[in-house]
Chains A and B, each alone.
Chain A
Amino acid sequence: ETGVTQTPRHLVMGMTNKKSLKCEQHLGHNAMYWYKQSAKKPLELMFVYNFKEQTENNSVPSRFSPECPNSSHLFLHLHTLQPEDSALYLCASSQDPNQPQHFGDGTRLSIL
């Protein structure tokens, strides 16, 4: 596989469920990112990891919990989400924080 792979592609969950989104990059990059894309809104950065260390948390509610076990994998753990959290969640990676970011196909999340 090449590029940035996200699973699952679609996820429907209730507000009390716990689920995780997975991202894997095969580009040898050192920085990884989570973004949220809601309808009619600009793409919004959530978290940045560089060499497995979190370097940016863009005031994201604690019901979203990221995990970066190594430079190739990034997770977003979800619990007690709200209907307004329904959105497309995109993972991206870059060689370093100053280089262009490359996106995965995203996970379309729907909260019932």
Chain B
Amino acid sequence: QKEVEQNSGPLSVPEGAIASLNCTYSDRGSQSFFWYRQYSGKSPELIMSIYSNGDKEDGRFTAQLNKASQYVSLLIRDSQPSDSATYLCAVNDGSGNTGKLIFGQGTTLQVKP
């Protein structure tokens, strides 16, 4: 069974620090990787997508992908209390272009003022 693993946390960081969220996946055929943010009681919101090895930066967010290690991470610089949420890692099913995403359980981030 194809899986996406995340540490459920909570990960607690002080305001202004760098938060590092990690994800591993089992499907070597996966080509598309996404990070979603989900506030309590709300729906997931796409914050980053990454498709090739290396780093991708967007504002305070940096996604990192290493396909050889089957590892994807999200760094949040200058963390703010408003970043407190659950972060979901999602990976496409590599067996075909079906749109099937496999989600991890999510990591809860707490940014303390």
Contacts and interface: CB of A to CB of B under 8 A. Distances in A.
A55 B99 contact: yes
Given A103-B45, A105-B43, A42 B99 contact: no
A45 interface: yes
A104 B88 CA distance: 16
Interface string B47-76: 001000000000000000000000000000
A108 to B, nearest CB: 9
A84 B4 CA distance: 23
B99 A94 contact: yes
15 contacts: A33-B99, A42-B4, A42-B102, A45-B101, A50-B99, A56-B99, A90-B43, A96-B99, A97-B98, A98-B92, A101-B34, A101-B99, A105-B42, A105-B43, A106-B43
B28 interface: no
Given A42-B4, A42-B105, A42-B106, A102 B100 contact: no
Among B99, B105, B106, the most chain A Cβ lie within 10 Å of the Cβ of B99
B32 interface: yes
Given A31-B99, A48-B99, A48-B100, A101 B46 contact: yes
A58 interface: yes
A100 B49 contact: yes
B98 A48 contact: yes
Interface in A68-102: 90, 94, 96-98, 100-102
Contacts of B103: 42-44
Nearest to B32: A98
Contacts of B42: 105
Contacts of A45: 100-102
A7 B16 CA distance: 39
Nearest to A48: B99
Among B4, B36, B46, B98, the most chain A Cβ lie within 10 Å of the Cβ of B98
